[in-house]
Amino acid sequence: SRGINAEYGEFQTFQHYFKQINLRARMKFFLLATLVASLAFAAEITEEENVMVLTEANFDEAVGANKNVLVEFYAPWCGHCKALAPEYAKAATALKDEGSEIRLAKVDATEHKKLGERFGVRGYPTLKFFVDGKEKEYNGGRKSPDIVSWLKKKTGDPCKVVTSKDAVDTEVEISHFTVLAAFSDRSSAAGAAYTAVASDTDGVVFMVTDDAALMAEFGLADGGVVAVRDFADEEPRVAMTGDVTAESLATFVSANRLPSVVEFSDETAPTIFGGDIKSHFLVFSDSTSETNKAVLATFRKVSKGVAGKMICVFVDTNKGDNGRILEFFGIKK
| Residues noted as catalytic | 78-81
Edge-to-edge strands, sheet with 205-209: 159-161, 205-209, 177-182, 225-229, 237-239
* Residue 128 per-residue DSSP state: E
Give residues with Cβ within 8 angstroms of 94, minimum separation 6: 144, 148
Q: How many C-beta atoms surround the C-beta of residue 105 within 10 A?
A: 23
DSSP 214-244: HHHHTTPPTT-EEEEE--TTS-SEEE--S--
Cis geometry, peptide bond prior to residue 259 (ω within 30 degrees of 0): no
Per the CB < 8 A criterion, the answer to whether 207 and 194 are in contact is no
Reading phi first (left if > 0) and then psi (alpha if -120 to 50, else beta), residue 82 is in: alpha
Instruction: Provide long-range contacts, Cβ within 8 A and 24+ apart, for 164-172.
Output: 164/211, 164/214, 165/214, 165/217, 167/207, 168/207, 168/214, 168/218, 168/228, 171/205, 171/207, 172/228, 172/229, 172/230
φ, ψ at 275 (rounded to 5°): -85, -170
Alpha carbon distance 143, 286 (integer Å): 27
3-class secondary structure per residue, 289-312:
CCCHHHHHHHHHHHHHCCCCCCEE
Q: Where are the alpha helices (DSSP H) in 131-245?
A: 144-155, 165-175, 189-200, 212-217
Q: How many C-beta atoms surround the C-beta of residue 248 within 10 A?
A: 17
Q: How many C-beta atoms surround the C-beta of residue 270 within 10 A?
A: 16
